[in-house]
Amino acid sequence: MKIWKKILKLATVGVAVFALAACENKTEEAKPKSQAPAQETTAKARTVQEIKDSGVIKIGVFTDKAPFGYVDENGKNQGYDVYFTNRLAKDLGVKVEYISLDPASRVEYAETAKADIVAANFT
């Protein structure tokens, strides 16, 4: 059983690093030269250290897609995504602020840094 706990912990950290890195703003060099400039956003993804310093991580989840993310009869967020991100927050030593998302807003919340991590049933 201990090996599974270690595997879960390594997977949690790995996915978290990937999720945070994927939210980083793209540079101008990464844009194709033929593409017209998109509407610029002033939002910048927070670093892991900034999240730790603030004491809170903002995580976007579904609230109506059991078993991944839902709100239970007591009004608490539950589900796989919630369990997974609670563990991440615990490892970082921060509290969680859950943001309810719908499928259409998941990418926007990640791109505009309205959430530090979007776990809403992303694979």
Q: Is 86 exposed, middle or buried (0-12, 13-18, 19+ CB in 10 A)?
A: middle
Q: Nearest Cα to 58, choosing from 97, 26, 88? A: 97
Per-residue pLDDT of the chain (123 residues; tens, 9 = 90+): 555 555 555 455 445 544 544 444 444 444 454 454 555 556 799 999 999 999 999 999 999 999 999 999 999 999 999 999 999 999 999 999 999 999 999 999 999 999 999 999 876
pTM over 0.75? The answer is no
In terms of phi and psi (left: phi > 0; alpha: psi -120 to 50; beta: otherwise), the region of 121 is left
CATH of 2-25+44-118, one of 3.30.465.10, 3.40.309.10, 3.30.450.20, 3.40.190.10: 3.40.190.10
Position 33 scores a pLDDT of: 47
Position 43 scores a pLDDT of: 77
